[in-house]
Amino acid sequence: MDEVFKELFGLYEETPVLIAAYDGFDRLRYANKAFRAAYFIAPDETPLWADLMRRNHQAGRGTVIHAADFEEWLRSTQSRRGKIGFRAFETDLFDGRWLWMTETMQANGWMLCIASDITGLRARSRAVRQDRDLAIKASYTDELTGVANRRFVMARIEDMLQRADAGRGCLAVLDIDGFKAINDRFGHQVGDQILCDFTVKVHGLVQRTHCFGRVGGEEFVLVMPGTSIAEAALIVERMLVVVRQSRPLVERPDFGYTFSAGIAACQDGDIALSLYSRADNALYCAKMAGRNCIQLDGSDSDQSAASG
């Protein structure tokens, strides 16, 4: 069997098709010669996908990124990357090649990426397909913050409920505390700054297999498949700490803000709306408990994960 695997990897190394595998933390674990050459990766390197994209963008090589703000593009892309079982899209490289890339997810969070060179396709039809891909991206993206929107997030809740290990999935509803007062006092432009700051702070702690998005106003959700309610509480608690420490307004260095969260675990018979409703009720309890804390669905005060 070892000889068979050696033969397969030998074929992978020599094929012009780009092949790579990422683990559940989005760290590159395997890349064949064609992939390493296209993305400037040394044979012994295992970079995170985000770091790989960032360094190539700064060097003007690898994937051509059509965005004025790279970090906003990265955040938006990560909101969709690895969130569904299979994804296919087209992308262009600085060396002039045009690739058809597929991403296939495994239940354990590993991702297989395969890309084929389709440069020979007519440029006119390529432009039409690129416009189509941009339209699809826009339909799943919150315009202000760049993360997933309600449509994409609700679909990921349905996906989680259909998984074989759905009993280990959780949903968190996050809501910025006193947001109306912030808008009333400082204006909607500052309110938008707070929403974007919140997105950046929270997104930096979101796992690759989880999905974070804005569902409206100052309310966000975090879909956590394969996660127990105790694990979910620890994840959101870290987010509470990071947001609590944020000082997003340069002109008001003492200004800070917080958020509250409700968390519910998947139950037999749940649909997206029932799970969302229970997490939303837990959020209401967190608000009633004084805000700046977490409440778990169906738990008493001794079991809640309130912040200190």
**Domains of the chain, CATH where assigned:** 2-139 (3.30.450.20), 150-296 (3.30.70.270)
Confidence at 306, pLDDT banded by 50, 70, 90:
very low
Q: Hey, what's the torsion of the CAs at 108, 54, 97, 66, to 10 degrees?
A: 110
Q: How far are the Cα atoms of 165, 173, 237 from residue 231, in angstroms, in the given order? A: 15, 15, 10
List the catalytic residues: 218
With a CB cutoff of 8 Å and minimum separation 6, the contacts of 232 are 170, 172, 224, 263, 265
For residues 73-98, give the mean pLDDT.
91
Residue 67: the pLDDT is 86
For residues 205-209, give the mean pLDDT.
92
Higher pLDDT, 44 or 134: 44
Looking at residue 83, the DSSP 8-state letter turns out to be S
Residue 53: the pLDDT is 97
Contact 273, 264 (CB under 8 A): no
Look up residue 137 and give its two tokens.
């991206």
Return the CA Rg of the chain: 21
Confidence at 12, pLDDT banded by 50, 70, 90:
confident
Share of the chain above pLDDT 90, in %: 72
Higher pLDDT, 165 or 153: 153
Confidence at 237, pLDDT banded by 50, 70, 90:
very high
For residues 47-53, give the mean pLDDT.
97
The pTM assigned to this predicted structure is 0.80
pLDDT digits (tens, 9 = 90+) for 257-279: 999 999 999 998 899 999 999 99
